[in-house]
Chains A and B, each alone.
Chain A
Amino acid sequence: MRAIEVRGLRKSYGTLEAVRGVDFEIQEGEVFGLLGPNGAGKTTIVEILEGYRKRDAGDVSVLGHDPERPGREFRERIGVVLQQSELWKNVTVREMHAMFAGYYEHSRDVDEVIALVGLESKRDARVKTLSGGQKRRLDLGIALVGDPDLVFLDEPTTGFDPAARRAAWDMIRSLRELGKTVLLTTHYLDEAEQLADRVAVMRDGVIVRVGTPRELTTTDLDVEIRYRREGEEVVVHTTEPTRVLHELTAEALARGEELERLEVRRPTLEDVYLTLTGDDEE
């Protein structure tokens, strides 16, 4: 079953074409990452799928609903973490969860959700006393308290320190174990690589590549072979590393030389990303 289906999606703000014809689908239980630099159109897509914005063109189905007419049944089944939002400062973590739990017909146990997002020790603390990372966990907690089938996470770790990011990643991984479908946007490569089953790389309002992180790194770029010869760095890019390496080493053996600092490097997702999003200076 498909949780999300998008065909030919377009959206402009005035003369700015934020999304220029996007197709993708997300299976139930899949963690799908939308990766791209700021302004690529990620948030616009997510907000169309959440029901906040109307599209200009295209077909969109989210859990079998058209999000442009988001009914109660649709709202019952989605959980949303916005890119930026604040919550009431003077209530406790538990009260905040209970408040949001009350909006749903079939909510999860409040204390269970608080434990899931790792805020047990802050259960009775007022929201205003939480750190930035703890507030983000609270955002995730209230997105999960309605027991949604589909969770939207718009840049869930932007501004986190490394430890807080690791903790957030663990929580997002636990969503997969709960069988939730997750749509995640991020401009961090390692985040997409760590969390997503499949990644769509966006640039200027279009998806330039979709695939698993492994597919993206194995199919796209040439393997890089580096070594030094008479003090000069030599770089060879090739799609046939076995053959090239064989020739190089055979030559070197014939000359009785060592290939200094020989290195064979598979492209990382970062190389792919930089090539695809055009931020490369090469």
Chain B
Amino acid sequence: MSLRLFLHQLRSEQLLFWRSKEAALFIFLFPLLLFVLLGSVYSGRIYGVPAAQALLSGLIGYGCANTAFAGLAITLVVRRESAILKRLRATPLSASTYIAAMLTSTLIVFALQTVTLFVLGRVLYGTPFPTQIGSLILAVIVGAMVFAALGVATASLIRSAEGSSAVVNFILLPMAFLTGSFGPTRHYPAFLRAIGDVLPLKYFIDLMNAIYLRGHGIWTKPFALLVLALWGLGGLIVAVFKFRWEPREG
């Protein structure tokens, strides 16, 4: 892997992301918009902290799944089916450099989104800035990688570009709802909570709640980290065996 090619591709990925209005709107702005809306609806305290702070934590979770899982999956399917990936394979850009640049670009978008959420929360709802910065950065990286692995795996299983956005959102939105991205789940029926309990987003939000709401370090949540690692590994295995660079033959 060459550093020059990696940086070149990273710049290209960033240009492509921000130049595409759909991506910038849906991937970057949508979680921010949801936070502003939900923050103005909920009041009082959730999990013993001001409602806006608890919502912010959940929406970082939604942002992570939205950016790394949904955004990456849709982008990869569209690029594969329009033969862009195939075309890139004929250039000296190696597969590993390409994937590394894609993941880093996704991480940059998610990190910017997280920072913007904290700033918006502070300005609009007076939420505090996080104190456990090191743990927060680690959690952001772990979350982005786990959901990116799941995004690549999902892209490998989707057959056509037309259906990709529908399939991905059909997974994303119920998952976000069931795992407390949009507010606490403690009043949900037991079977809905049971479904939420196996989904990776619940454990990422657990991490965020520990770090941001309670000021704990990331290592106080080993079980959440383990579940996330298992999901990430599962995604990676599917991705390695099922990922294709070329469109399905007509």
Contact = CB atoms under 8 A, between A and B. Distances in A.
Interface of A: 50-52, 72, 75-76, 78, 80, 82, 84-91, 95, 99-100, 102-105, 146
B15 A52 contact: no
B33 to A, nearest CB: 22
B94 interface: yes
Nearest to A53: B246
A103 B83 contact: no
20 contacts: A80-B87, A82-B83, A82-B86, A82-B90, A85-B82, A85-B83, A85-B86, A86-B82, A88-B84, A90-B16, A100-B91, A102-B5, A102-B9, A102-B12, A103-B5, A103-B8, A103-B92, A104-B91, A104-B92, A105-B92
Q: Secondary structure at chain A's binding surface: helix, strand, loop or mixed?
A: loop
Given A76-B92, A103-B5, A104-B92, A90 B246 contact: no
Nearest to B19: A90
A104 B86 CA distance: 17
Contacts of A75: 90-92
B19 A50 contact: no
B16 A84 contact: no
B8 A102 contact: yes
Contact of A91 (B16, B21, B91): B16
Interface in B83-127: 83-84, 86-87, 89-94
Q: Which of B9, B84, B92, B94 has the most CB of A within 10 A?
A: B92
A105 B93 CA distance: 11
A95 B15 contact: yes
Q: Which of B20, B86, B90, B92 has the most CB of A within 10 A?
A: B90
Nearest to A99: B12
Q: Which of A80, A88, A105 has the most CB of B within 10 A?
A: A88
Interface in B1-22: 5, 8-9, 12, 15-16, 19-21
Contact of A87 (B8, B84, B90): B84
Interface of B: 5, 8-9, 12, 15-16, 19-21, 82-84, 86-87, 89-94, 246
A80 B15 CA distance: 24
Given A72-B92, A75-B90, A86-B82, 6 more contacts: A82-B83, A82-B86, A85-B82, A85-B83, A86-B84, A89-B20
B15 A91 contact: yes
A52 B12 contact: no
Contacts of B20: 89-90
Given A90-B19, A99-B12, A103-B8, A78 B90 contact: yes
A219 to B, nearest CB: 37
A95 B19 CA distance: 12
Ranked 9 nearest A-B pairs via Cβ:
A85-B83, A86-B82, A80-B90, A102-B8, A103-B91, A75-B92, A90-B19, A103-B93, A99-B12
Contacts of A102: 5, 8-9, 12
Nearest to B249: A13
A1 B94 CA distance: 29
B92 A91 contact: no
B9 to A, nearest CB: 8
Contacts of B87: 80, 82, 85, 87
A68 to B, nearest CB: 14
Contacts of A76: 92
Contacts of A103: 5, 8, 91-93
